[in-house]
Amino acid sequence: MAIVTARDAADLLEPLFADASGEALAILHLDAARCLIALDERPVAGTDAIDLPMRDIFRAALAYGAVGLILAHNHPSGDPRPSRADIEATRRFAETAASLGIRLHDHLIFAGGECRSFREMGLL
In a domain, 124, yes or no: no
In degrees rounded to 5, what are phi and psi of residue 106?
-165, 165
The strands making up 68-74's β-sheet, listed across from edge to edge, are: 36-43, 24-30, 68-74, 103-111, 114-117
In degrees rounded to 5, what are phi and psi of residue 43?
-70, 155
pLDDT, average across residues 85-95: 95
In a domain, 122, yes or no: no
In a domain, 109, yes or no: yes
Q: Which CATH number covers residue 64?
A: 3.40.140.10
pLDDT level of residue 23 (50, 70, 90 thresholds): confident
Per-residue pLDDT of 40-52, as tens digits, reads 998 776 555 566 7
Domain that includes residue 23, residue range: 6-117
Total number of domains constituting the chain: 1
